[in-house]
Amino acid sequence: MEIPSEQPVYSVYESKGRALIPKTASLVLLAIVFYLGVLLNVSLLELDAAQETSLKVGALLLLLFLILIGIILAVRKVRTPYHFYSNRLVRGKEIIYYNQIINTSAHLDPIDKIFKTYSINLGKNFFLRHIPEQIQLSNYLQQLINYAKTQNF
């Protein structure tokens, strides 16, 4: 089913800091743990110095490459806005119609409190994540849901 092209009524972007800083920190922490495992395993093998060095450098380069890929993917995701249309909410290829939304209440986790953001689980595995506190979407979403019900979308 192709949806006719129309301009969104409203667009919202995620907080870049809230999305990228924890993601980068977790990638680096996991890379450190993995590299320590590589160092332990390499030290237990009977290799000459050149082989040991090349394995360590290769593992380090692989981890740096994976961290870079993870950050690039996170940046691409953060740059994708949530578009509000008259009858649906769209982010990238994800679509949820207002009549399918079951929850509009905001949720805060400890990291959200630090970055002054919140998330909303709309249902159907559709989340509004890392929304700045200055943008209050709960009431706006409820109004859109009520409008969609009256218009029979």
Question: What would the pLDDT profile of 106-147 be if each residue is shown by its tens digit?
Answer: 999 999 999 999 999 998 899 999 999 999 999 999 999 998
Predicted local confidence at residue 88, as pLDDT: 92
CA–CA dist 122, 45 (Å, integer): 51
Predicted local confidence at residue 3, as pLDDT: 54
- Looking up tokens 């990228």, which residue turns up? 20
Distances (CA, A) of 151 to 13, 137, 148: 27, 21, 5
83-90 mean pLDDT: 93
Residues sharing a CB contact under 8 Å with residue 121, sequence separation 6 or more, in sequence order: 103, 107, 127
